[in-house]
Structure 1
Amino acid sequence: MHSELMQWISTGGRILGSLFYYEPTSAQAKSALAFFQQPDWALQWGNVENPQTITFIQQGLQQDLSAQYQALFIGPNALPAPPWGSVYLDPEAVIFGNSLLDLRDFLARHQIAFSASQQEPEDHFGLMLMLSAYLAENKQELLSEFLSRHFLIWSGRYLELLTAQSDYPFYQGLGLLARQTLREWQEELALIVPKAQFYR
């Protein structure tokens, strides 16, 4: 596969994945946030199609990101856009559903050890982005199967719900950027993503 594309998936997956997964004050998120604090980050990213993406991210950086992260990823209230794949793919709309078991089978078959904190389901959107980066760096032959069968199949639905959350502009902008980025990966890799029924 094209080395520039693999580098792009590695870099983009790690930056976006860190911000979707880690609390904004964590060391992992802070290094990713530093990227978006550069005045020319959009030029470095490439072609950012939707100008609102830049506006939302800039606006959000002036706000309390920890409060936004808490509301979107932790609770205590119901999450407006749950970040786990099986919530969308399982008829019961639960975490730890069948699609997660399929993902675990994929990871086990290919001897990919996963260290997630606090028994976090592995199909968390941020973790899946970072796993995309890992595969681009280490197991490129598995990337197409992972993206088409385990990630892109539900990521669009999650991002549709997330980008509708106008109270959280940073993550709204990040969601728009992730949607564009994942679409570009799909196009560059010529992936055919199966249609799925969503239960949320």
Structure 2
Amino acid sequence: MPKNSHGCIEDYRFEDRDASDDLLSDRGFLEAFGSACTLLGVCLSQRPIEKEASRARSAIRSVDVARDWPLGGSDALALAADLIACGAEEDERTLDLEFQRLFRGTGMRAAAPFGSVYTDRDQVMYGWTWMELRAWMRMHGIECASRENEPEDQIGRMLLLCAALASRDSALIPEFLGRHLMPWAPRFFELFLGDMRTSTFKGLGVLAQATLDDACALLGIVPARFRLYR
């Protein structure tokens, strides 16, 4: 992606390419990253009343997040653990209503879960970064199945793509994170966490952000800089 293409100010880069390559061949890191992204991706892409989402949520609640979650800074993990524990009494109906508001647009929300809403001047779904993501996926033979009719740059689906790359083609992780996800994800999480009405989803948001931030730091990835319009 050339500099100044569309809204790209500066492309992603490596702080230490050799160290990144070494970590991308570390099976332990890839399994940990993939497992974390799978659980979070399911929770942020599927309705809480669905069996797979319920299982993923239960799996996260069964972990001592502050101590045993594989990625993330200690302060962020402690906060996520507290929030998830506080949300243990939130029932599925409450969580489902919150999911519908946050991810399906059935109520007021501050944070759209689609990347191109942030990167496109018109703040639309299916914008230029979505088109570039689709082209990149086709070029590398990547598929991301979904039962929902929504763009691939939905935050939960992007986490599931991280998991797929960790298990199938880890060499593509830096480009995916640096060019397609992390230029806009921090802004999404900033708005998402400020708009939260349930402890469970706030905890999941903190955990997802901590996981992605730590993965980038460990891989030495400096994400591309895009103009953001939201």
Q: Please report the TM-score for the alignment, with normalisation by the length of structure 2.
A: 0.82
| Matching residue of 1:79 | 109
2:75 counterpart (44, 49, 57): 49
Alignment of 1:57-136 (within 5 A): 57-63=84-90, 64-136=94-166
CA distance in 2, matches of 1:113, 1:182: 21
Deviates more, 1:49-58 or 1:100-109: 49-58
How far did 1:108 drift?
0.4
CA distance in 1, matches of 2:59, 2:153: 25
| Matching residue of 1:151 | 181
- Secondary structure at the counterpart of residue 120 of structure 1: coil
Q: CA RMSD in A?
A: 1.5
1:138 counterpart (164, 168, 171): 168
1:28 aligns with 2:52: yes
Q: Please report the TM-score for the alignment, with normalisation by the length of structure 1.
A: 0.93
How far did 1:39 drift?
6.1
**Does the CA-based 8 Å contact 1:162-1:171 persist in structure 2?**
no
1:196 aligns with 2:230: no
**Does the CA-based 8 Å contact 1:84-1:95 persist in structure 2?**
yes
How far did 1:48 drift?
4.1
1:52 counterpart letter in structure 2: L
Deviation digits for residues 7-46 of structure 1 (CA, Å, limit 9, x no counterpart)? 1111111011010001111121111111233263433214
How far did 1:168 drift?
2.4
How far did 1:75 drift?
2.7
CA distance in 1, matches of 2:109, 2:147: 19
Deviates more, 1:94-103 or 1:40-49: 40-49
The count of residues paired between Structure 1 and Structure 2 equals 200
**Does the CA-based 8 Å contact 1:90-1:199 persist in structure 2?**
yes
- Tell me the percent identity: 29
1:3 aligns with 2:27: yes
Where do 5+ consecutive residues of structure 1 fail to align?
none
1:130 counterpart letter in structure 2: L
- Secondary structure at the counterpart of residue 86 of structure 1: helix
Higher helix share: 1
Higher relative contact order (CA 8 A, sep 6+): 2
**Does the CA-based 8 Å contact 2:65-2:80 persist in structure 1?**
no
Deviation digits for residues 126-166 of structure 1 (CA, Å, limit 9, x no counterpart)? 00001001001001111111110001111101001111124
